[in-house]
Structure 1
Amino acid sequence: MENLAMHISNGIINGPVAAVFAAFALVVLAYCVVRGRADLDDRLAPMAGLVAAFIFAVQMLNFPIFTGAVSGHLLGGALAATLVGPWVGALCVAVVLVVQALVFGDGGVAMLGLNITNMAILGTAAAYLLIALLVRVLPRTPAGVSIAAFVASVVSVVVASQGFILQYWLGGTTDVGSTLGGLAGTMAGVHLLIGIGEGLIAATTVATVAKVRPDLVYALRALRATPAAVSVPMPGGAR
């Protein structure tokens, strides 16, 4: 097993499986466009551009793990979900993946549907679900939302890595020198470490933005704590 990076190269997964995931990714991204339009305003639109640029920069930084036998990079789904929400966040990550594949050859063009499914869809969705839960139990402060971003980063990166395991099980064509269970364990372990690194970056970034402009943090302004039950007086004094 020479390398376990999150981007899937051409030929690792067979054509039919790649085509199915490409269709799935297109449908989900189209839905994200529809839902994202409702969120876009004069604050979210420029923030989305900044988030995409930041994710592009950090994803270009591949780093070795385990004496260079394994490499990986940050994904950015949790950061995107925290700052611009799940729909626009998934689109930001997807745009970055398309540019990387077409311009820099990072990930096979034929495998774009697989990579978008794992990193833009699964990763961002897992992150947002956790963030939506955590911001309701943690203090709604820069520290609280940064903790949510950290936890979501760790979990979302591992979830995204396991998307590849499912895809490889369905249509893997390359011998990776390991059983499926062994491959899943290796990917989870490697990306747990990557997730911790990503979590530290995401938490620091989110905390900084939240201190300066909390109105730009989607998780703070769009996700509200569940309101307590309110008793409404009924006619005649009944409740």
Structure 2
Amino acid sequence: MHVPDGFIDAPMSAATGVVAAGAIAVSLRGARREQGGTSRASEAERGGERTAPLAGLVAAFIFAVQMLNFPVAAGTSGHLLGGALAAILVGPYTGVLCVSVVLLMQGILFADGGLTALGVNITDMAITTTVVAYAVFRGLVKVLPRTRRSITAASFTAALLSVPAAALVFTLLYALGGTTDVSLGKVATAMIGVHVLIGVGEAAITALTVGAVIAVRPDLVHGARGLEQRLKLRVNGELVDAQAPLAPITPRTSRRRLWIGGLVTSLLLAGFVSFYASSNPDGLEKVAADHGIDRQTKEHASADSPLADYGVRDVDDARLSGGLAGVIGVGVTVVAGTGVFWAVRKRRSTTSQVA
């Protein structure tokens, strides 16, 4: 759903740029609390300190999975937006920053998503998906048992709803600042319809990833804080619940091993699996072509980038070119993301000392 230059006019692009800048400023402050906060932080907030090293990895993983377009309907594909996944894994404020880092890297290096439309993309893909998904997720976990299965189910539902929400927000932005005269009713129907289907893929990827991380390190998942398991006893060959308080789930792997495993997975997805991704246009591209939204599309400012369109210039082999671009993208994103969150943690430590 990367919006290119020319879809939205200059005033609306500028307005969403202000919204995006404000949201990022708020998220930087909120991310400090999620990663340990200040000296007045609660115990739950201090627990976020353990998730901070994962934030850069989450950004890199989202970048990698976004390269894997999956078919959703005749001639249309979709890809992960990532707001729900980031919010549940590392917190909503940190999640906004994760997706924003991905969008910035994609726009500058790969000519994916317009630079003048960066505010539009951050507002739509980072802010909207994260806020909607986390609100739905928190609402569900409050009424569901605090079990791994419930959190995975809540993750699925939250991710599913976040995608058509982003499609609706794009339609509203286009209604206010679109550069072509089209039927907004038809655009809204087409956008929401196809993105409901894309949302199913988003939900599956999010639930599988959250479930996998919870299985080995539930203490590192922001949305799973306080997750507990009931003690089991074997009676006559069957496992039954023990009449005892719930016990915290014991981590099954170290943070270092989880980080390395996540990075290797991201590199494999971007460097190898991405070659087999669907080549069909994504939901926004298909709707834009069908309804004339793309008539005012402008050439990307980074069209001459050596990595434009997710290929390495002067590398003729398509598989090698795309794979190298994916690996470079993962590397740059994990470095950029880690740098941002290292700065957040450093500022947090300084603030705590001053306090």
| TM superposition shift of 1:62 | 2.8
| TM superposition shift of 1:222 | 6.9
Which has the greater radius of gyration? 2
**What's 1:235 paired with?**
none
Aligned-residue identity in percent:
53
Distance (whole Å) between structure 2 residues aligned to residue 173 and residue 77 of structure 1: 27
| TM superposition shift of 1:174 | 3.2
Map 1:93-172 to 2 at 5 A.
Answer: 93-172=99-178
When residues 57 and 19 of structure 1 are mapped into structure 2, their CA distance, relative to the original with a 3 A threshold, is: same
**What's 1:59 paired with?**
66
1:210 aligns with 2:214: yes
**What's 1:184 paired with?**
188
Distance (whole Å) between structure 2 residues aligned to residue 141 and residue 210 of structure 1: 10
Distance (whole Å) between structure 1 residues aligned to residue 26 and residue 85 of structure 2: 20
Q: Secondary structure at the match of 1:144?
A: helix
Q: Is the 8 A contact 2:72 2:198 kept in 1?
A: no
| TM superposition shift of 1:163 | 1.2
Letter of the 1:179 partner, please give it.
S
Q: Flag the structure with more relative contact order, 1 or 2, with Cα contacts below 8 A and sequence separation at least 6.
A: 2
| TM superposition shift of 1:72 | 2.9
Q: Is the 8 A contact 1:63 1:73 kept in 2?
A: yes
Letter of the 2:10 partner, please give it.
G
**What's 1:233 paired with?**
none
The number of equivalent residue pairs is 216
Q: Is the 8 A contact 2:103 2:118 kept in 1?
A: yes
Q: Is the 8 A contact 2:146 2:226 kept in 1?
A: no
Q: Is the 8 A contact 1:11 1:174 kept in 2?
A: no
Give me the TM-score of the superposition, normalised by structure 2: 0.59
Q: Secondary structure at the match of 1:116?
A: helix
Letter of the 1:188 partner, please give it.
I
Distance (whole Å) between structure 2 residues aligned to residue 181 and residue 58 of structure 1: 31
| TM superposition shift of 1:74 | 1.1
- Structure 1 residue runs of 4 or more that deviate by more than 3 Å after TM superposition: 63-66
Cα RMSD (Å):
1.7
Which of 13, 18, 27 matches 2:13?
18
Which consecutive unaligned segments of at least 5 residues does structure 1 have? 1-5, 224-239
